């Protein structure tokens, strides 16, 4: 269970709409908190971009949130975390930054047959941060096999099409098939976009497969850091920003995360 968020201003950033899966858990934990969400949909998806591009876009997002008074930044994007969280923490020392990464460690505690699937972007799976984490856990559990599935096109499909559309279903089917064939009994959702279509993913896997999503863990870490911050005088209404089309963000934020705000298009 996530501790209640105090009256603080939290900025949440993602390459697009995926971070709404994190925003939902933060909103449920914090009736007093002020939440600002920035979707860089105009430059999504990040998973197929090079690291320098992702670092620069994340820097701009962080600057944008600081200028709007956010006391804490949540990078609700696995690819951005993998590429940029360490340099950002060094550059912005003293400003709390929470990142997110695939939950392969909790997956180890859940697997019964030793076959764990990891659905993530190519950028996340090839990052030094993920490779180091996987190597460490593989050494701890040498009998476990990780099946890495680079889900090319899935985040983009979620950005561009309705969640239950045939276009999204086709990409999900293509990327879950290898994990089903490998007999994975646990599948890690290593991109914040993927929980938005978790029921569709679940339906394409074998019965009884457990999905691992780290959104709640991120919310708990955010709540712990927020408890150390001075409360703001009065929380302002939640804010939604995007570098792309405001319509999908506004609609999905209300339906998925319970956040009602007029989405604004911005240039960063």
Q: Which domains does the chain have, with CATH numbers?
A: 9-100+215-265 (3.40.50.1860), 104-212 (3.40.50.1860)
- pTM of the predicted structure, to 2 decimals: 0.92
Name the token pair of 48.
């197929």
Binding-site sequence positions for substrate: 14-15, 46-47, 78-79, 192-193
Query: Mind telling me the catalytic residues?
Result: 77, 191
CA angle 88, 100, 243 (to 5 degrees): 70
Per-residue pLDDT tens, the chain, 268 aa: give them. Answer: 677 888 999 999 999 999 999 999 998 886 789 999 999 999 988 988 899 999 999 999 999 999 999 999 999 999 999 999 999 999 999 999 999 999 999 999 999 999 999 999 998 999 988 999 889 988 989 999 999 999 999 999 998 999 999 999 999 999 999 999 999 999 999 999 999 999 999 999 999 999 999 998 999 999 999 999 999 988 789 999 999 999 999 999 999 899 999 999 999 9
| H/E stretch holding 240 | strand 239-242
| Cβ count near 264 (within 10 Å) | 13
CA–CA dist 6, 267 (Å, integer):
30
How many Cα atoms sit within 13 Å of 85 on the Cβ side? Answer: 23
């Amino acid at each position: 269970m996530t501790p209640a968020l105090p009256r603080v201003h939290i900025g949440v950033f993602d390459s697009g709409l995926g971070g709404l899966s994190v925003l939902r858990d933060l909103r449920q934990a914090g009736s007093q908190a002020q939440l600002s969400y920035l979707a860089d949909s105009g430059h999504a998806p990040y998973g197929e971009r090079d690291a320098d591009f992702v670092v620069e876009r994340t820097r701009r997002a962080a600057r944008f949130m600081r200028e709007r008074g956010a006391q804490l930044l949540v990078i609700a994007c696995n690819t951005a975390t993998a590429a940029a969280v360490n340099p950002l923490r060094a550059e912005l020392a003293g400003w709390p930054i929470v990142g997110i990464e695939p939950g392969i460690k909790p997956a180890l505690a859940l697997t019964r047959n030793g076959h764990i699937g990891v659905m993530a972007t190519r950028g996340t799976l090839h990052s030094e941060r993920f490779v180091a984490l996987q190597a460490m856990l593989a050494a701890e559990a040498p009998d476990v096999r990780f099946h890495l599935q680079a889900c090319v096109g899935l985040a983009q499909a979620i950005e561009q099409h309705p969640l239950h559309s045939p276009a999204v279903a086709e990409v999900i089917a293509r990327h879950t098939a290898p994990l089903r064939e490998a007999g994975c009994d646990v599948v890690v959702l290593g991109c914040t976009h993927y929980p938005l279509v978790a029921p569709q993913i679940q339906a394409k896997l074998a019965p009884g497969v457990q999905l691992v999503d780290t959104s709640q863990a991120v919310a708990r870490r955010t709540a712990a850091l927020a408890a150390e911050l001075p409360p703001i005088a009065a929380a302002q209404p939640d804010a939604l920003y995007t570098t792309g089309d405001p319509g999908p963000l506004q609609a999905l934020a209300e339906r998925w995360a319970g956040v009602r705000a007029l989405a604004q298009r911005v240039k960063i």
